[in-house]
Amino acid sequence: MTMSLPNPAPPQGTAITETITTVVQDADGYTIVGPFARNVQITLSTNTPALSIDVNGQAGELLQSSSDVAKLAYNGKGVDSATVEANLQAAASGTYIATASFAPAPTFGSETTFAGSFAGSHLAIGNNAYAITQASPAQLIYGTIGGTPSTLAIPSGNAPVFVWMTPLELDFSEAGAVGWAYYAGPSAGAIFEYTTPAAGISCLTAFDGLDHMWFMESAAAKLAYTDIGGNFTQYPVGIAGAQPSACTFGFNTYVWYSDPGTNAFGYFNESTDTFTELPIPTAGANPGDITTVDSAQQGPQMWFLERGGQKIGIYSLQTAGITEFSLGSSPVRMVGGNNAPYVWVLLANGNLQRIDEVAHTVTNITVPSSANGPIVDLVDDGVELNLIRGDATHASFQQYFY
């Protein structure tokens, strides 16, 4: 009897065939031979709802003949691996259990394409949906993964830069403004834009639970937030030479940020209205993206990208110190692995690196070329790596199943 994992369309794995060899034994462990031994049935079960089973071309889980063939197929989202358990029941006492494991091979899925200027676009993911910023025409593209995309035009005509996705709205920033665009619910279609006190927004981060959208005004060296009515509050960094860049909410409810101007990594404590910066050991590190990493082995950490030093910097909340390790290549972007134990780095040559959060081992991934341009942004949802490719004329949304 055989079990096989065919390659679905689009391909999301590697076809595998595994033969089940059964041995029928009695309660004392003696092998049973002859016709009696062939009077058996095998019931298959899986450890994941993402795997479906059919027997001889029809849905089922029961094998009764040596000629029976069970096929396994992934449905829905990808999984790291799947285990199939074969329970063999004979007329005699005793049960023999066999298992077979299948792991889909990492692969890039098909692309959903768009027309227009997408150089420097940003991507947001939420609840099996995505949102993309588009420079020309100035709009937000959103849709269900695998579905037909929709658009929301920016009323001012200014190009959106960053985007954040919630179940009802798309929160976005422009060079000197922030806004809300409702794509679902009773306010669907409504868009609000508010000019920020200072231009040069370098990042947009999540709400803090009080309906405050936080962002960094890099040129003015200020951290700021606004409520949904467009009322702004600013906090000057107050450190000579500061040019705060990437920012995110993280541990201790601080706003964590990188500062290329002072070659430092820092955080803002809202309860005391104070900024703290820690110097990065590597000179000219040019720090960029930040992500949170929390593991049982190493405790809470903040990782930041060192674009100038070709390194990852790690700030440990347990030791209050910074360590670094080399990537060996020139990085452009970095994102966390959500619930997956990886951090992803986009390289200047267009390829990817997957980094184990504990061992810090680096896996290099060659990205296939595409007529839709290079990867410009990426988001890991804990199951797949979601990608946006783009250039001055077109773009595409794509997933990497790992």
- Clarify whether residues 223 and 370 are in a common domain: yes
Q: Check whether 101 has a pLDDT greater than 60.
A: no
Mean pLDDT of all residues in 34-46:
60
Check residue 97 and give its pLDDT: 45
Q: Check whether 103 has a pLDDT greater than 90.
A: no
- Clarify whether residues 148 and 265 are in a common domain: yes
Check residue 217 and give its pLDDT: 92
- Clarify whether residues 121 and 89 are in a common domain: no
Mean confidence (pLDDT) of the chain: 83
Check residue 128 and give its pLDDT: 86
- Clarify whether residues 93 and 116 are in a common domain: no
What are 371-399's pLDDT values in tens digits? Answer: 999 999 999 988 789 999 999 898 999 99
Mean pLDDT of all residues in 136-157:
93
Size (the chain), residues: 402
The dihedral through the CA atoms of 206, 210, 213, 215 has a sign that is: negative
Check residue 55 and give its pLDDT: 79
Check residue 94 and give its pLDDT: 43
- Out of 79, 102, 125, pick the residue that ends a domain: 102
- Clarify whether residues 85 and 121 are in a common domain: no
Greater model confidence, 65 or 282: 282
- Out of 72, 102, 132, pick the residue that ends a domain: 102
Mean pLDDT of all residues in 28-32:
64
What are 292-348's pLDDT values in tens digits? Answer: 998 777 889 999 999 999 999 999 999 898 999 999 999 999 999 767 789 999 999
Residue 241 banded pLDDT, cuts 50, 70, 90: very high
Lowest mean pLDDT, pick from 12-16, 51-55, 83-87, 223-227: 12-16
- Out of 102, 137, 165, pick the residue that ends a domain: 102
- Clarify whether residues 158 and 279 are in a common domain: yes
Mean pLDDT of all residues in 152-179:
92
- Clarify whether residues 47 and 182 are in a common domain: no
- Clarify whether residues 85 and 156 are in a common domain: no
Mean pLDDT of all residues in 19-35:
60
- Clarify whether residues 151 and 237 are in a common domain: yes
- Clarify whether residues 113 and 80 are in a common domain: no
Check residue 223 and give its pLDDT: 94
Highest mean predicted confidence (pLDDT) among 56-60, 64-68, 249-253: 249-253
**How far, in Å, CA of 249 to CA of 348, rounded?**
26
- Clarify whether residues 51 and 161 are in a common domain: no
Q: Domain count of the chain? A: 2
Check residue 294 and give its pLDDT: 87
Greater model confidence, 282 or 29: 282
Domain of 46? Answer: 2-102
Mean pLDDT of all residues in 146-175:
92
**How far, in Å, CA of 118 to CA of 161, rounded?**
10
Q: What is the CATH number of the domain that holds 183?
A: 2.130.10.10
Q: Check whether 68 has a pLDDT greater than 60.
A: yes
Mean pLDDT of all residues in 24-49:
61
Buried-state track 176-206, b at ≥16 Cβ within 10 A, e below 16: ebbbbbbbeeeeeeebebbebebeebbbbbe
What are 167-188's pLDDT values in tens digits? Answer: 899 999 998 999 999 999 999 9
Peptide bond into 236 cis (omega under 30): no
Residue 89 banded pLDDT, cuts 50, 70, 90: low
CA distances from 74 to 4, 52, 108, 383, 399 (A): 12, 6, 16, 13, 16
Check residue 262 and give its pLDDT: 97
- Clarify whether residues 364 and 229 are in a common domain: yes
Token pair 């098909």 is found at: 110
Rounded to the nearest 5 percent, the helix, strand and coil shares of the chain are: 0, 50, 45
Rg (CA), the chain: 26
Residue 47 banded pLDDT, cuts 50, 70, 90: low
